[in-house]
Amino acid sequence: MGTCTYCGTKFPLTRATRKYCTPRCRTNACLDRKPRRIRAADVDAILQLIDSEVDSAEMLRARLRAILIPGSPQVPLEVESGRVMIPRMD
Protein backbone atom coordinates (compact mmCIF):
# COMPACT_ATOMS: atom_id res chain seq x y z
CA MET A 1 0.00 0.00 0.00
CA GLY A 2 1.14 3.50 -0.77
CA THR A 3 0.00 6.93 0.34
CA CYS A 4 -1.03 9.56 -2.19
CA THR A 5 1.23 12.60 -1.92
CA TYR A 6 -1.62 14.93 -2.95
CA CYS A 7 -4.67 13.82 -0.94
CA GLY A 8 -3.11 11.40 1.57
CA THR A 9 -5.33 8.38 0.91
CA LYS A 10 -3.98 4.84 0.92
CA PHE A 11 -3.91 3.02 -2.42
CA PRO A 12 -2.40 -0.19 -3.83
CA LEU A 13 0.95 0.44 -5.48
CA THR A 14 1.26 -0.42 -9.14
CA ARG A 15 3.86 0.49 -11.70
CA ALA A 16 1.70 3.29 -13.10
CA THR A 17 0.73 4.81 -9.75
CA ARG A 18 3.70 5.37 -7.50
CA LYS A 19 2.96 8.77 -5.95
CA TYR A 20 -0.71 9.50 -6.65
CA CYS A 21 -3.86 7.42 -6.20
CA THR A 22 -5.61 8.68 -9.36
CA PRO A 23 -4.71 10.64 -12.49
CA ARG A 24 -6.86 13.48 -11.12
CA CYS A 25 -4.65 13.77 -8.01
CA ARG A 26 -1.61 13.79 -10.27
CA THR A 27 -3.07 16.61 -12.37
CA ASN A 28 -4.13 18.60 -9.31
CA ALA A 29 -0.68 18.20 -7.78
CA CYS A 30 0.88 19.65 -10.94
CA LEU A 31 -1.57 22.56 -10.92
CA ASP A 32 -1.00 23.32 -7.22
CA ARG A 33 2.79 23.52 -7.44
CA LYS A 34 4.34 26.51 -5.79
CA PRO A 35 6.81 28.55 -7.81
CA ARG A 36 10.40 27.81 -6.86
CA ARG A 37 12.02 30.68 -8.68
CA ILE A 38 11.94 34.39 -8.12
CA ARG A 39 10.18 36.38 -10.83
CA ALA A 40 12.24 38.82 -12.90
CA ALA A 41 10.24 41.79 -11.56
CA ASP A 42 11.07 40.69 -8.00
CA VAL A 43 14.76 40.44 -8.86
CA ASP A 44 14.66 43.99 -10.26
CA ALA A 45 12.94 45.23 -7.11
CA ILE A 46 15.56 43.53 -4.91
CA LEU A 47 18.41 45.06 -6.93
CA GLN A 48 16.83 48.51 -6.58
CA LEU A 49 16.47 47.92 -2.84
CA ILE A 50 20.15 46.96 -2.58
CA ASP A 51 21.19 50.12 -4.44
CA SER A 52 19.02 52.37 -2.26
CA GLU A 53 19.89 53.53 1.23
CA VAL A 54 17.89 51.94 4.02
CA ASP A 55 17.53 53.49 7.47
CA SER A 56 17.47 50.27 9.51
CA ALA A 57 17.74 46.52 9.19
CA GLU A 58 14.08 46.13 10.18
CA MET A 59 13.02 48.36 7.31
CA LEU A 60 15.17 46.29 4.93
CA ARG A 61 13.58 43.07 6.20
CA ALA A 62 10.10 44.51 5.85
CA ARG A 63 10.76 45.62 2.26
CA LEU A 64 12.29 42.25 1.33
CA ARG A 65 9.33 40.44 2.86
CA ALA A 66 6.93 42.67 0.92
CA ILE A 67 8.76 41.87 -2.33
CA LEU A 68 9.20 38.12 -1.88
CA ILE A 69 6.14 37.16 0.17
CA PRO A 70 3.42 39.79 -0.31
CA GLY A 71 0.61 39.66 2.20
CA SER A 72 2.49 37.61 4.79
CA PRO A 73 2.33 38.65 8.44
CA GLN A 74 5.48 39.87 10.12
CA VAL A 75 7.22 37.27 12.30
CA PRO A 76 7.16 38.46 15.91
CA LEU A 77 10.55 38.32 17.62
CA GLU A 78 10.81 37.87 21.37
CA VAL A 79 13.83 39.30 23.15
CA GLU A 80 14.71 37.53 26.39
CA SER A 81 17.83 38.41 28.35
CA GLY A 82 19.57 39.92 25.33
CA ARG A 83 18.91 36.93 23.03
CA VAL A 84 16.40 36.92 20.24
CA MET A 85 13.96 34.02 20.41
CA ILE A 86 12.26 33.13 17.12
CA PRO A 87 8.94 31.33 17.70
CA ARG A 88 8.51 27.84 16.29
CA MET A 89 5.94 27.39 13.54
CA ASP A 90 4.64 23.97 14.61
Span 65-84, pLDDT tens digits? 888 877 776 666 666 666 76
Tell whether 78 is covered by a domain.
no
Write down the H helix ranges in 1-90: 23-31, 40-51, 57-68
- Residue 22 makes CB contacts below 8 A (sequence gap 6+) with 4
Other Cβ atoms closer than 10 A to 11: 15
- Looking at the fold, whether 44 and 66 belong to one and the same domain comes out as yes
Of 45, 35, 85, which is closest to residue 65 (Cα–Cα)?
45
Domains in the chain, number: 2
Looking at residue 80, what is its pLDDT?
A: 66
- Looking at the fold, whether 26 and 45 belong to one and the same domain comes out as no
- Looking at the fold, whether 64 and 43 belong to one and the same domain comes out as yes
DSSP conformation class of 32: T
Instruction: Please give the single-letter amino acid code of residue 26.
Output: R
pLDDT digits (tens, 9 = 90+) for 4-42: 888 888 888 877 768 888 888 888 887 766 666 778 888
- Looking at the fold, whether 40 and 58 belong to one and the same domain comes out as yes
- Looking at the fold, whether 44 and 58 belong to one and the same domain comes out as yes
Whether this prediction's pTM lies above 0.75 is answered by: no
Tell whether 90 is covered by a domain.
no
Looking at residue 11, what is its pLDDT?
A: 85
Domain span holding position 53: 35-71
- Looking at the fold, whether 40 and 24 belong to one and the same domain comes out as no
Looking at residue 63, what is its pLDDT?
A: 87
Tell whether 14 is covered by a domain.
yes
